[in-house]
Amino acid sequence: MPSLSGSSVLVVGATGGLGRAIAHLLSEEGALLTLHGRSTARLAELGTSGATVTGDLSDPGTATQLVSAALAAYGRLDGIINAAGVVAFGPMADVTDETIDTLMAVNTTAPMRLLRAAYPALIESSGGLRDPFFVTLSGVVSERPTANMAAYSASKAALAAFGQAAGREMRRDGIRFLDARPGHTETGLATRPIQGSAPQLPHGYQPADVARRIVDAIISGERDLPSTAFAG
């Protein structure tokens, strides 16, 4: 994909620290954006042009809603970046059922539903030779599950496994699956856990730098971004 100009791209979690940076770069590249967030107020504050849509990712119907919004805005859908997620901290023995359910619903099940809902549109994009893609961010914990983040690590590792298998299937239809696994990034997510409190974390990557690496990978046709791809 030599250019994103004119591509219809859905950014899920566009109001988050990393999603915001990705949306900004995509806009600079000339993409036609559909921006998802949980509140209209935060979407209005983005300062990035595009169609907007709200929705709770734990709701089974939201995936279809997001895809429909992109198709209504631009008549097609060429790419999706799932930058949404939730985190929890604390010993495995203390993790509640509600926390486990939410982690899996948002971090794992939601992107699976989203890909399924978007698949017909992405196949159509492939037929139009527009190099469609689906990007997830399973993060470094999918490579190195972390103590006191066991349930969170599991939700991300499951997403990474899904991506590896789904990516093989998608190649036959000319659709690219790209999983990015950056280390700790200063998005502010660690300050908003759904359970527990974050431990002392080392200084992380800047969202703008991680976003740039991901967008460059989309343009250059990469299919995998391990944690080492963000070092240096």
Query: Given CA atoms 73, 128, 169, 177 in this order, what sign does their dihedral have?
Result: negative
User: Is pLDDT at 138 greater than 80 in this prediction?
Assistant: yes
List, for residues 169-209, the tens digit of each pLDDT value.
999 999 999 999 999 999 999 999 999 999 888 899 999 99
Residue percentage of the chain with pLDDT more than 90: 95
3-class secondary structure, 21: helix
> Can you list the alpha helix ranges (DSSP code H) found in the chain?
17-28, 40-44, 62-74, 97-104, 110-127, 150-171, 207-220
Angle at which helices 62-74 and 110-127 cross, to 10°: 30
Using CA atoms, how far residue 143 sits from 47, 92, 115, 130, 151, in Å, is: 34, 18, 22, 31, 14
User: Which residues span the domain enclosing 125?
Assistant: 8-224
User: Number of structural domains, the chain?
Assistant: 1
Report whether 76 contacts 124 (CB < 8 A): yes
CATH code for the domain of 77: 3.40.50.720
Does residue 205 lie in a domain region?
Answer: yes
Asked whether residue 56 is domain-assigned, the answer is yes
Average pLDDT of every residue of the chain: 96
Decide if 59 is inside a domain.
yes
Q: State pTM to two decimals.
A: 0.96
Residue 208 lies in a domain: yes
Question: ∠65-21-158 over CA atoms, to 5°?
Answer: 60
pLDDT at 202: 85
1 — pLDDT class (breaks 50, 70, 90): low
Residue 39 belongs to some domain of the structure: yes
Could you tell me if residue 232 is inside a domain? no
In a domain, 229, yes or no: no
Residue 231 lies in a domain: no
Sign of the alpha-carbon torsion through 105, 76, 136, 210: negative
Which residues pair with residue 176 across a beta bridge? Answer: 133
Q: What is the pLDDT of residues 51-108, one digit of tens each?
A: 999 999 999 999 999 999 999 999 999 999 999 999 999 999 999 999 999 999 999 9
Integer angstrom CA distances of residue 93 from 65, 87, 103, 144, 149? 36, 16, 16, 20, 11
| Residues contacting 44, CB < 8 A, separation 6+ | 52
